[in-house]
Structures are given as C-alpha cells and as structure tokens.
Amino acid sequence: MRIPNLPESFTSKHAAKGWPLGLAGVALIIIGSFLSWSYDDQILGDLSLNFYPGGLQILAIIGAVIGLLLLLTAKGPLESRIGPWLDAALGLRALGLWMLIYMVLVLVAITTDSDGLINVNPGGWVSFVGALLLFLGARVVPLREHRDLAAARAPGWAEVLAIAVVMAGVLFGAAYALGRDDAWSFVLFLVFAAGVIAMMVRTGILTWFGHVAQRQKKILTLSAFLVAFLFPFTQNGSDANMSIATQVLVFAATAMGLNIVVGLAGLLDLGYIAFLGSGAYVAATMSQSAFATIGWKPPFLVVVLLGASVAAVLGLIIGSPTLRVSGDYLAIVTLGFGEIFRFSMFNLDGNNGPNLTNGPNGVPGIPDLEIGSFNFGATHTIAGIDLGRFSNYYFLLLILIGGVILVFARLNDSRIGRGWVAIREDEKAAEAMGVNVFGLKLLAFSVGAFLAGLAGTIKAHQDGAVSPDQYVFLESAFLLAAIVLGGMGTIAGVLLGATILKLLPEKLRFFSEYRLLLFGLLLVLMMRFRPEGLVASRRRQLEFHEEDEELAVAIEHELVEEAK
C-alpha cells in the first residue's frame, strides 16, 4: 500500500523537519509501548500493565527500532556506509504508513473489544501520536540517489547468515501468529508483518534477498525444511494449532498437484477436489474402520500407491474425452466431473449401487495410522516437548510435500515442463512446433491427480472420517484461488497461497459471517494490485507489466547472473 508523494516543493521546504519528527515519533512509540495501552486486561493479550510490554507492544517497539535504523541510514551515522546502497527514505515512508495503520487498528480493537474508546489508556495514545509523527516525518525526508542493491555482493557467510535470520523470523512469526487466540491480535500481527515486508520491498532488501536465494538455493531449501521441521516444537503440544498446520500441508500438497494442471499446462480444472476425494475413499474403504466396505487390509504404503493410482486413472478417464476441448468448455466439463464424483459417492450405498462408500454417511471411525511400531495417534515426547497426533501427521505430510515439490521441480525443469509451458502460452504454435499437445495434457491431468490422491490417503486417517460433503465445488475453487493468489507455476507461491487461504478463515472466525466477506475483499484487492500473484514467476510478471522497462532490465540482469 502506498499513498501519493507530496509535491517536491513542499518536501524540500520542510525536509529539515523530517529527521527530528521521525526521531520524536520513534521515541514516543517506544515510551508509549512501555505504558499501559488498555484498561481491560482481558483483551489483546493483556496490554494493561506499565513497564511490562505485551506481545502487540513488543511488535510496536520492533517497528520503532527498524524506523530508527532507517532514520540513521537516511541521515546519520549509517548514511555513509549503508545509505548509498539502501533506499532508506522510501523504506521509512512505507514503514511509517503501516505503523500508523497498526496503531489505528490497535485503538479500534481496544474500542471494539472493551465497548468504548474511553478504555484506551494513555500509553496507547502516546504510541499513536508517535506513529503519526513518524508517518509525517517520513513523508518529508528527502529521497536520495542510490546504487542498485541487487548488484551488491556479500561474502558467502553473510548471505548464509541473512538466510538464517529470515528463516528464524519466519519460524517465530508463524509460531506467534498461530498462538494468537483472538482474531484482532492475529490481524494486527498480519498488519505489522505487511509493514515490515513493504519496508523491505521499498528499500530494495527483498530484491537483494531474492538474488541471494538464487545463489544459495540449496541452503535456502534446507533452511525452509528445517524451519518447517522445528515448527511443532514451538507449539507447546497445542493440538489446535497443529491441526491447522496439518490442514495447510494437505491443502498445499493438493494445490501443488493442481499447479501442474493449471500453472504449467494452463488447463482450467474446476473439479480437482475429486482426485483428493478418490484417494481418501480408497484409504477409508481399506482401513481398519468398522464401517470399511472392502475386506482387504493391505499395509499403508500399498494403500498410498493404490489411492494415488486410482486418482491417476480417474484423471486419464476424465482427460481422454474432455481434453479435446479447451478454455471455458474445459472448465465446465471438469466442474461437472467434480459433481459427478460427489454424487457417485452418495449413490454407492448399497441401494442405488454397490455398497462401497456407505452413501451420505461416509466411512467414520477411521483409526490412526500405524507404520511399524509407530502409532500416529499416540503422544510422543522429544526433548521434553509433547508431540500429539496432529504433530505426527504433520511430519508425515512434511515428507509427502517434500516429495511433491521434488516431482514438481523436476518436471518444471524438464523437457516435459517446457512442453506444458508452450501449450499454456499458445497451444496452436506448440502443436505446429511438434509438441504432442494431447499427450502432454493427459500427462498433466494424470500426474496432478496422482499427487492429489497421495495427499488424500493421509487426509482420510488424519480426519478420522470421509464423507461426500467434504469434496464440494467450493474446495476446488479455493485450490484454484491458492494458485492464482500465490503465483501460478511457482513452488513458493503456491505454498504461500495455500497457507493464506487455509490459515485466514480459521483465525478470523471471530468475525463470524463477515470473515468470508473480508477474505473475498482481500482477494479482489490482491487481483487488482498484483494480478501475477504474491510470488510470481518472472515470465508472468512481464505478461502483466509489459510496459515496465525497469522490470524487464531487472529480469535480464537476473538471467545473466543465473547464466554465470
């Protein structure tokens, strides 16, 4: 989010006031954060104590410290060392704006939760005034010419340290966000995180980190999986938070499969949830549940392969006759397939057809997995931390999503992946160049379905029950939204989009029926201001911003760096 710049004549006239105003704002934010913000100690994690900052007050202090560093870089001791590389003034403007939004929302939250603005204590007003002064001061801090930070090269150990710091921030940020019990605290954390990210974008730090990530791909990948592995140890055995985390991983693994179909091959599939459901039903009907309808009880590894294979066969069955059409017609056909699958699960109840699924009752009472002597339903203690059943499934899903990412990355970089991209860009041109269009489309459908079936077999045991109403069209729409929101054809984008789409509705239950309205509004704004997605591929960025010459030059520079 940004607001128009002030006229240059006004900025130059009041430039001398920007630095002292900013310093005063930083000081007031910190002072106010050590004072009580709220009279009511039952809201927002208790902000009613003096000289004992709560979680939201600590976030304000962190934001103020970042603002202080930017001020010292714009005009101060750090100006000669970091100033030539860092666009500190633009970063300060972004941070000042978001800190003001943060404090305004804090006052709104206190007013809403405690029934009156009178319940805001003096510390809240002091920090609000500080945020306002920081915002005003940042608006008149003069902009300076600076070098391209993306071209800056740091020693290898410094780049590894930067990755470690960012990954540690992600770990603690995720732990803090999931630990918020009320929606307002969660929303305020998101606003603070958005402010920090906006600051990093405007200063050029995020661009520099992107180049570091390209140079240190292996270390970044290992760090990301290490953070994901350590996450359950930050939750103090909370089954509620780990339940959300496992849902996110199932959703992300399924979305990664759909990303092959939509993101790489460009085939609009609106019935993809059926492939997840087919894998889940295979696992349920072969489980040890008293309601299972198939007498054969093979080991789980066999069930996983069977569930994924059944989903892949369904992908071939639906793909063979329908991939002759494209665009809107393909979307309608796949939507129909999703509904056919759901109604088929209703009708396979012994009355309208063979008794395979128990009809609308589904298959309840699915027991927890047991692989060898390891029971996924039991609590295990590691390093003094209790890990419950959801933590156990989390680790299993983490292994699954690692395999899914590996498959996606290898396919994307292969000749097959390039063929899919060619089909997505121009099917007729790809066919004219000798690409087997129909075969590659069919392969995309079957591989995507196979990955969804894998996730479905684990989901059945994690949920403990399977029923047809779990696999409605809205779930397919959410999967598609995760890909578009995160960035089509990318790995990090889909993971981020899936996390947002699963996490936000769960944590915003406080807003009751308005949460989907707010959520939809966020999606609309996202599609308006960043249609290429949060973590877009360079190709899609150029498609949506063809007129941006600076972006084209930056991408050309990145390609040269990668070639080296």
Other C-beta atoms closer than 10 Å to the C-beta of 61 total 17
Average pLDDT over residues 451-459: 93
Q: Bridge-partner residues for 375, per DSSP?
A: 370
CA distances from 169 to 23, 162, 173, 196 (A): 26, 11, 6, 11
For the ranges 177-191, 316-330, 339-353, 392-406, which has the lowest average pLDDT? 316-330
User: Quick one: pLDDT at residue 127?
Assistant: 96
Q: What secondary structure letter does DSSP report for 111?
A: H
For the ranges 80-89, 130-139, 373-382, 502-511, which has the lowest average pLDDT? 80-89
Model confidence at 348: pLDDT above 80: yes
pLDDT band at 113 (very low <50, low <70, confident <90, very high): confident
Model confidence at 551: pLDDT above 80: no
User: Quick one: pLDDT at residue 278?
Assistant: 93
Express as a percent the part of the chain with pLDDT over 70: 87
Rounded to 10 deg, the angle between the 217-230 and 205-215 helix axes is: 100
Backbone torsion region of residue 426, taken as left when φ is above 0, otherwise alpha when ψ lies between -120 and 50, otherwise beta: beta
- Tell me which residue of 201, 174, 215, 8 sits closest to 91, measured CA to CA: 201
Coil, strand or helix at 69: helix
What pLDDT, in 10s, does the model give residues 43-97? 888 898 999 998 899 999 999 999 999 988 877 666 656 656 677 888 899 999 9
Spatial contact of 488 and 263, defined as CB atoms under 8 Å apart: yes
How many helical (H) and strand (E) elements, i.e. helices and strands, does the chain have? 22, 4
Q: Bridge-partner residues for 386, per DSSP?
A: 381
Question: Parallel, antiparallel, or unpaired for β 374-375 and 370-371?
Answer: antiparallel
Could you write out the DSSP letters of every residue in 272-312? THHHHHHHHHHHHHTSS-TT--------HHHHHHHHHHHHH
Task: Report d(CA 195, CA 190) in Å as an integer.
Answer: 9
User: Quick one: pLDDT at residue 494?
Assistant: 86
User: Quick one: pLDDT at residue 455?
Assistant: 93
Coil, strand or helix at 84: coil
What pLDDT, in 10s, does the model give residues 18-34? 888 999 999 999 999 99
User: Quick one: pLDDT at residue 466?
Assistant: 93
Model confidence at 419: pLDDT above 80: yes
What pLDDT, in 10s, does the model give residues 458-472? 999 999 999 998 898
Task: Report d(CA 99, CA 103) in Å as an integer.
Answer: 6
User: Quick one: pLDDT at residue 451?
Assistant: 92
User: Quick one: pLDDT at residue 218?
Assistant: 83
Q: Within 13 Å, how many C-alpha atoms sit on residue 516's CB side?
A: 3
Q: Which range scores top for mean pLDDT: 10-24, 67-81, 231-245?
A: 231-245
Spatial contact of 497 and 255, defined as CB atoms under 8 Å apart: yes
Mean pLDDT of the chain: 84
What pLDDT, in 10s, does the model give residues 260-291? 988 888 888 888 999 999 999 999 999 888 88
User: Quick one: pLDDT at residue 307?
Assistant: 93
What pLDDT, in 10s, does the model give residues 478-506? 888 888 888 887 888 888 888 888 887 77
Element (H, E) at 380: strand 380-382
For 154-180, the three-class secondary structure string (H helix, E strand, C coil) is CCHHHHHHHHHHHHHHHHHHHHHHHCC
Spatial contact of 47 and 37, defined as CB atoms under 8 Å apart: yes
